[in-house]
């Protein structure tokens, strides 16, 4: 067998082996860990796209309900969950985004690109590591729902997120025109992320 053919075969074998390694495939979420906390950031656009982005470019603010879930497997048991609501606006003159976390107290940031705005939202959500052993595999799920303009807290209601709101928000069937995004990534192990 000629040398060039053997090298080509060896190269393809190396590519196949690398692709078979855990975590070698492109993950939609980047995950890193520090003691007691798991940080999640998007690898690509997760929610500033489609109809919500069109609404933003037309001058409207859009509220996104964002939920991060730590699972034992792709469809496994929920170990930890966190959520928040974020109001996003777009400055059509400067072509950048501003985000307000609708928590108590509110936090805001401006002059962000779309990836920076999404990352800021996720970075503010604290997802505990649920006391996982460093060698146990886990998955992360991101659920994002753009609220319709007529939704939001009732008069006098706090704009935060309660467990009852979360269950209703992410378990009901999407209404016509409602935008939902979903991403899952894993398996990960804490010892590989630190």
Per residue of the chain (194 residues), give pLDDT as tens: 554 444 334 333 333 333 334 444 578 889 999 888 999 988 887 789 999 999 999 999 999 999 999 999 878 899 999 999 999 999 999 999 999 999 888 999 999 999 999 999 999 998 998 888 999 999 999 999 998 876 555 444 455 545 455 555 555 555 555 557 788 999 999 999 87
Containing domain of residue 127, as a range?
Answer: 43-193
- Predicted confidence at residue 86, as pLDDT, reads 95
- Quote the distance between the C-alpha of residue 151 and its chain's center: 22
Cα separation, 29 vs 191, in Å, equals 18
Cα separation, 184 vs 194, in Å, equals 20
Is 162 within the bounds of a domain?
yes
Is 25 within the bounds of a domain?
no
**What is the pTM (predicted TM-score) of this model?**
0.72
Is 32 within the bounds of a domain?
no
Strand 96-101 relative to strand 107-112, pairing: antiparallel
Is 105 within the bounds of a domain?
yes
Is 153 within the bounds of a domain?
yes
Is 80 within the bounds of a domain?
yes
User: Which H/E stretch holds residue 108?
Assistant: strand 107-112
Is 27 within the bounds of a domain?
no
Q: What Å distances lie between residue 140 and 134, 146, 182, CA to CA?
A: 15, 20, 11
Q: What Å distances lie between residue 152 and 23, 134, 161, CA to CA?
A: 38, 40, 11
What's the number of domains the chain is made of?
Answer: 1
User: Which H/E stretch holds residue 53?
Assistant: helix 50-57
Is 176 within the bounds of a domain?
yes
- Predicted confidence at residue 11, as pLDDT, reads 36
3-state SS class at 141: strand
Q: Name the nearest CA neighbour of 123 among 35, 58, 32, 54.
A: 32
């Amino acid at each position: 067998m000629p040398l060039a053919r053997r090298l080509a075969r060896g190269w393809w074998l190396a590519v196949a082996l690398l692709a078979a390694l855990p975590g070698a495939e492109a993950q939609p979420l980047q995950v890193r860990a520090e003691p007691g906390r798991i940080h999640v950031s998007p690898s690509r656009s997760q929610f500033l796209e489609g109809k919500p982005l069109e609404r933003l470019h037309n001058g409207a603010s859009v509220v996104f309900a964002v939920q991060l879930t730590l699972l034992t497997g792709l469809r496994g048991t929920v170990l930890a969950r966190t959520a928040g609501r974020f109001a996003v606006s777009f400055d059509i003159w400067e072509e950048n985004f501003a985000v307000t976390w609708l928590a108590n107290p509110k936090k805001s940031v401006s002059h962000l690109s779309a990836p920076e705005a999404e990352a800021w939202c996720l970075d503010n959500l604290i997802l505990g590591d649920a006391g996982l052993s460093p060698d146990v595999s886990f998955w992360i799920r991101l659920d994002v729902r753009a609220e319709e303009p007529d939704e939001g807290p009732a008069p006098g209601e706090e704009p935060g997120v309660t467990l009852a709101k979360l269950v209703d928000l992410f378990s009901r069937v999407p209404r016509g025109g409602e935008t939902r995004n979903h991403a899952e990534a894993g398996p990960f192990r804490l010892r590989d992320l630190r």
